[in-house]
Amino acid sequence: MKITTQVILGFAAAAVAGAAIGMLLAPEKGKDLQMKIKDGAQDWLNQFSSLLNTGRDVAAQVKSIAQQEVQHLKSELNEVH
């Protein structure tokens, strides 16, 4: 799980860096560029936060299902013995 998190964060960081470089190289006024960067960063943070929350929800669901399956297997083993 740790490697997956690192890969996702690596892709996210690369996307942010690429977007920032693209904006910095675009021929625009300084104030317009600053607003674009600020708005883009805020949007990215909101999306990333939403993604993390979704990940937490999915992990909680997987944990619950796994616990139910373990309990089911335990009860089946107890019936066999």
Mean pLDDT of 43-58: 86
Residue 53 has pLDDT above 80, yes or no: yes
Any residues with CB less than 8 A from the CB of 20 and at least 6 apart, and which?
37, 40
The token duo for 19 is: 């977007």
Q: Which residue has the tokens 């993390």?
A: 52
Mean pLDDT of 47-74: 89
* Model pLDDT for residues 6-22, shown as the tens digit of each residue: 777 777 778 878 777 77
3-state helix, strand, coil in the chain (%, to 5): 95, 0, 5
